[in-house]
Amino acid sequence: MKLGFIGLGIMGAPMALHLINAGHTVYVSAARRVPDAIKASAAVPCATVQEVASHAEVVFLMVPDTPDVEAVLFGENGVAAALQAGGGERKVIVDMSSISPMATKAFAQKINALGADYIDAPVSGGEVGAKAASLTIMCGGEPAVFERVRPLLEKMGKNITLVGGNGDGQTTKVANQIIVALNIAAVGEALVFASKAGADPAKVREALMGGFASSRILEVHGERMIKRTFAPGFRIALHQKDLGLALQGARELGLALPQTAGAAQLMQVCAAHGDDQLDHSALVKALELMADHEIG
């Protein structure tokens, strides 16, 4: 198939390579940064995003944030300019970036009005998952459109779910990031309490596994806190952006997320101490700083 891929960063480049290696013709924009691995591949450079979208049947986006998606879609020489030209088969835009669910709904409506389809498909699994083609992909959109792009998504991920209509993929990603952040804070507070009370946090963690306190975070991030292995993983700076989507979304939707707001502040304590490039399990360092006590 003729595909487009916009956003060839740490995540996007290996994802695009999986599509290229599967034998698809992948158009990329030479007006944007093109990493060496893509230059050395069979990827076809185009002058602009508009040109990419004019060639491609399916255009993938993997850019940092909501304004970046907006610029790629509706900016000068963007995707929308190619759609307005019309002609050919109905195209699909697949946004794999993690952005605002509400903005996604608006973007999808505008793309639909231009005669194209839209799937929001944010991922979790990080750079490791992108390279291993083992990403979890949370999708929103029409079932028929989802089925059309599913074989392509399967080249990049393993656990691929259509949650509902447009925006629901992004909503699920936000929900995921809320739970992950709050579960990290939970394990952090429990282990700092246990350590300061004189117990061995490693033994406490073991005793809690298998009970109601058990979670993937207690398993993976609890161990990182105890072993002090804070190399990312998933960086605090990125999780801060995702909690920003949650808190801004809550404001737009009219709801309160007091615990998420608290966890975001703990990450800002880390950022204030220059730790925002560490793995998000390093949130425990904010609690340790506040307690003047390091666990273990």
Considering only residues 78 to 117 of the shown chain, the ones binding a second copy according to CB under 8 A are: 101-102
Query: Which of the stretches 11-19, 51-59, 81-89, 191-199 binds a second copy when contact is defined by CB under 8 A?
Result: 191-199
Q: Which stretch binds a second copy (CB under 8 A): 12-20, 33-41, 87-95, 160-168?
A: 160-168
The reply to whether 263 sits near a second copy by the rule CB under 8 A is yes
- Asked whether the CA dihedral 231, 234, 235, 236 is positive or negative, the reply is negative
Q: How far is 268 from 237, CA to CA, in rounded Å? A: 9
259 is a site residue for a second copy (CB under 8 A): yes
CA distance 188 to 181: 11
Of positions 50, 54, 97, 215, contacts a second copy by CB under 8 A: 215
d(Cα 184, Cα 217) in Å, to the nearest integer? 6
Site membership for a second copy, residue 272 (CB under 8 A): no
Q: Which of 200, 232, 241, 244 binds a second copy (CB under 8 A)?
A: 200
**Contact with a second copy (CB under 8 A): which of 80, 226, 266, 267?**
266
| 223-242 positions binding a second copy, by CB under 8 A | none
Q: Is 203 in the site for a second copy (CB under 8 A)?
A: yes
Q: How many residues bind a second copy (CB under 8 A)?
A: 73
Q: Single out the segment in contact with a second copy by CB under 8 A; choices: 30-38, 51-59, 60-68, 286-294.
A: 286-294
Q: CB–CB of 110/74 below 8 Å?
A: yes
Q: How far is CA 172 from CA 92, 163, 175, in A?
A: 21, 8, 5
Residue 215 has phi, psi (to 5 degrees) of -160, 160
Among 178, 225, 264, 270, binds a second copy (CB under 8 A): 178
Q: HSE-up of 111 (CA within 13 Å, CB side)?
A: 29
For the chain, the C-alpha Rg in angstroms (whole number) is 21
Shortest distance (Å) from residue 80 CB to a second copy: 24
Catalytic residues: 173
Q: How many residues are present in the chain?
A: 296
Which residues contact residue 194 at a Cβ distance below 8 angstroms, ignoring those fewer than 6 apart?
201, 204, 295
Which of the ranges 17-25, 35-43, 73-81, 217-225 carries the binding residues for a second copy, by CB under 8 A?
Answer: 217-225
Q: Does 132 bind a second copy (CB under 8 A)?
A: no
Cis ω on the peptide bond leading into residue 233 (within 30° of 0)? yes
Choose the binding region for a second copy from 22-30, 42-50, 86-94, 214-222 (rule: CB under 8 A). Answer: 214-222
Give residues with Cβ within 8 angstroms of 179, minimum separation 6.
none
Please state the closest distance from residue 18 (CB atom) to a second copy, in A: 20
| All residues at 6 or more sequence positions from 151 whose CB lies less than 8 Å from its CB, including other chains | none
How many CB atoms neighbour CB 253 within 10 A?
11
Which of 43, 61, 156, 217 is close enough to bind a second copy by CB under 8 A? Answer: 217
Choice between 58 and 194, CB closer to a second copy: 194
Q: Does 267 bind a second copy (CB under 8 A)?
A: no
Interhelix angle for 216-227 vs 201-208, to 10°?
A: 170
Q: Which of residues 12-41 bind a second copy (CB under 8 A)?
A: none
In the complex, the smallest distance separating the C-beta of residue 54 from a second copy, rounded to whole angstroms, is 33
Is 206 near a second copy (CB under 8 A)?
A: yes
